[in-house]
Structure formats: structure tokens, C-alpha cells
Amino acid sequence: MRNASMRAMSDRLNIALIAANGLRGGWSFPGAPARTRNELEYVEEVLEDVQVRFNVPKSRILASGFSLGASMVWSLSCYMGDKFAGFAPVAGTFWNPLPETCPSGPPNLIHYHGRKDGTFPLAGRAIAGGLYHQGNTHESFDLWHSQGQCETEEPLITESGIFQCERRSGCGSSVLELCLHEGGHVYRAAWIERSWGILSDLKGWEH
């Protein structure tokens, strides 16, 4: 892991940092241009390896990713939501077509996105001449409501540093939060640290 800020964060929080690798710089989630492997099987193998080698339970793992990695994290939240404590994707959501159903139910998910992101806009965009289409961030959040897994209630709007955050209510004990900033396609370790703090408070972990 060459990212010094991520290493510093893991040291500060006294947590392990596990970096899963996409093949050839990409991930083969639904709707993605890449079709290289079954990513859900790969992630399951990583989780099992981490459990065996380091005795880290799945119930204490937060998954995060940036851009394509964030889209992969959204896919995990839908199809493997019960395998993680929570998710913190940055600047990437589902790709079209959005899932018809998420078997795991509403996850603990805190998403960060720039209003001026031109690489993965909030509204999504078509790429490769329209062959593939990045999904709409707000529609991705609406998925659990449309499936009847969350009650339709007014979200709670808060200001948190550079963010305006919209937390969906009516999803039981799950936290579904969208935090927007005025920047572009960027990722900061501090945002993951914020998510870890929220998750720790929710789960009653020491931090």
C-alpha cells in the first residue's frame, strides 16, 4: 500500500488495512466494461483468507473504494451486504442497469461524491459510445426504498465539515448517508476515518 495517508489512518485507528486488487486496473461488477472474473467469489476468498490468517471477523470489516472501486463496493453492498459491517464508497455507484433487487437488504453505507465530478458525475454518464453507462447516485440510494426495504421519509440534512450530508431514515438500524462536497473526482483518507467513526458508534466498538 503506497498511499501514506491511508497507512497513517490505519495506524491512528489501530486497524488493519487490506487492499484487494482488481485485474488490469478494473473490476467486473454488473454493468462494467471489464469481464475478467467473478468478483464476488474473489472477495469471498479474500474475506476467508483474512479470517484464517489474521482472525479478523467479517462483522468488523468496512469496505471502501474509489471510482471503479467504489462501484465495486456498491455491488458488494447489494450482493454481499451481510458479509461486511459497512461500506464507504467514494465517487462511484452502481452502473446501469441498476440491480432489480438487493438480497442483503439495506446496508450501512456512507457515500462521498463531488458535485463537480466530471469523471463519474452524480447523474452518471454514458461511456464507450453508449455501450456502458455509469449509474445515477440518487437513484442508487433510492433502490432500497423502491424495493420496500426502507420507509419513505424525509432525509435528515446535516453539515459536516466540507460536506452536506443526507441521511436516509426509515431503514431500520441501517445508516444510509450521501455526503456531497464542492470538489471533483477525489478521495481522502479522512473521509474513511469519518465513516469508521460512525460505524464504530453504531456498533459500539471502542475507538
- pLDDT one-digit tens code per residue, 118-167: 999 999 999 999 999 999 999 999 988 877 778 767 788 999 899 999 99
Backbone angles phi, psi at 60, to 5 degrees: -120, 20
Let me know: does 194 contact 10? Beta carbons within 8 Å.
Answer: no
Looking at residue 35, its pLDDT comes to 86
- Positive or negative CA dihedral for 128, 129, 133, 138? positive
- pLDDT one-digit tens code per residue, 4-39: 999 999 999 999 999 999 888 889 999 999 888 999
CB atoms within 10 A of CB 207: 12
Provide the residue range defining the domain that includes 36. 4-203
Pairing verdict, β 176-181 and 163-168: antiparallel
pLDDT surpasses 80 at 169: no
* Residue 189 Cα to chain centre, angstroms: 14
- pLDDT one-digit tens code per residue, 82-126: 999 999 999 999 999 999 889 888 999 999 999 999 999 999 999
Q: List 160's β-bridge partners, or say none.
A: 163
Average pLDDT, the chain: 92
CATH code where residue 191 lies: 3.40.50
What's the grid cell of residue 111? 457515500
Number of domains in the chain: 1
Distance CA 168, CA 153 (A): 8
pLDDT-derived band at 172, boundaries 50, 70, 90: confident
